[in-house]
């Protein structure tokens, strides 16, 4: 029989994977992997501010990640630097500031390794409720905004011409990313969050002929990676968070050995091109 803590880890991990799957698809389609890293790195600054001000950890991480997202949008509109340069500055600056702040707080004992790589085996029932509650909220928002998200991903100019407000859609997407990162931090850690978003989506991309199929497959593959990683961690006594990422990587490598099902560019809703193969 499996212990209660392992069951909680499985339930929380699967819940996170189901949420991260569709969101990760948009990260892949929009080529925003570096943006995901930037938001994940900003989480440590949120942790430092939470400890400094004795503030709720989840809310603090979300506020910092959301602030970084809005700051990126504002800086992009100025056009003084490329998006890659801005992301590099924000990513390393927030991570470094967070580390420096933590080093000054000598009165606080903090497990940096736990924050950086997560500790899914330490999740409580409250954490499980938070993962599933937040996951349902994020999934509902993605379903509600599915058409505008797809349209602004494939052709932002056309989406704007049709009154879908791609800039607003992008901001909402960034806020959803901030929420998922805040929820996922304790499970897979700051440095591994982006991996759980990108690798299952990249694996699902090889077998998808529509955005909807890819979103569902990404969730399933992510869930399989969580289960495989946790049981591998139990068997080989390896860190749980990295083991989940290694399991996801293993599934991706296996997908490279098979023939993809995609054929050309499939059609999406409203006759638009599917972003699956772009």
DSSP state of 190: T
Q: Three-class SS of residue 249?
A: helix
Residues in contact with 130: Cβ distance below 8 Å, sequence separation at least 6, in sequence order: 58, 183
Please give the C-alpha separations between residue 156 and each of 35, 151, 159, 161, 226, in angstroms, as whole numbers: 18, 7, 5, 9, 34
For the entire predicted model, the pTM comes to 0.89
d(CA 275, CA 31): 11
Helix (H/G/I), strand (E/B), else coil: 118: coil
What percent of the chain is predicted at pLDDT more than 70?
93
Section 175-179 average pLDDT: 93
CATH 1.10.3470.10 fits 4-277, yes or no: yes
Reduce the DSSP state of residue 230 to 3 states and report it. helix
Domain-by-domain residue ranges, the chain? 4-277
How many angstroms separate the CA atoms of 115 and 162, rounded? 43
pLDDT-derived band of residue 270, with 50, 70 and 90 as boundaries?
very low
Span 35-76, pLDDT tens digits: 888 988 899 999 999 988 888 989 999 999 999 999 988 888
Q: Give the C-alpha separation, 254 to 258, whole Å.
A: 7
- pLDDT higher than threshold 60 for residue 188: yes
pLDDT 10s digits, 95-112: 999 989 988 888 777 777
- pLDDT of 273 reads 54
Task: Give yes or no for a contact between 134 and 59, defined as CB atoms under 8 angstroms apart.
Answer: no
Q: Is the pLDDT of residue 269 over 80?
A: no
| Residue among 140, 196, 173 at smallest CA distance from 13 | 196
């Amino acid at each position: 029989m499996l212990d209660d803590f392992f069951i909680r880890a499985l339930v929380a991990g699967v819940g996170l994977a189901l949420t991260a799957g569709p969101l990760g698809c948009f990260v892949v389609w929009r080529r925003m992997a570096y943006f995901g890293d930037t938001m994940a790195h900003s989480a440590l600054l949120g942790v430092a501010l939470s400890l400094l001000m004795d503030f709720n950890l989840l809310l603090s991480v979300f506020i910092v990640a959301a602030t970084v997202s809005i700051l990126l949008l504002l800086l992009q509109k100025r056009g003084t630097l490329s998006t890659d340069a801005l992301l590099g500055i924000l990513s390393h600056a927030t991570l470094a500031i967070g580390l420096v702040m933590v080093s000054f707080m000598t009165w606080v004992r903090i497990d940096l390794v736990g924050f950086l790589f997560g500790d899914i085996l330490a999740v409580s029932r409250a954490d499980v409720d938070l993962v599933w509650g937040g996951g349902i909220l994020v999934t509902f928002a993605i379903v509600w905004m599915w058409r505008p998200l797809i349209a602004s991903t494939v052709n932002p100019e056309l989406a704007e011409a049709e009154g879908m407000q791609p800039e607003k859609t992008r901001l909402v997407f960034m806020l959803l990313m901030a929420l998922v990162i805040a929820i996922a931090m304790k499970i897979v850690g700051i440095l591994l969050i982006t991996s759980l978003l990108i690798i299952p989506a990249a694996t699902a991309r090889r077998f998808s002929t529509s955005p909807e199929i890819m979103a569902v497959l990404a969730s399933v593959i992510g869930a399989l990676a969580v289960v495989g990683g946790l049981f591998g961690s139990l068997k080989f006594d390896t860190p749980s968070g990295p083991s989940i990422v290694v399991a996801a990587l293993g599934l991706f490598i296996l997908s490279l050995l098979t023939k993809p099902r995609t054929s050309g560019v499939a059609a999406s809703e409203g006759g638009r091109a599917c972003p699956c193969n772009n």
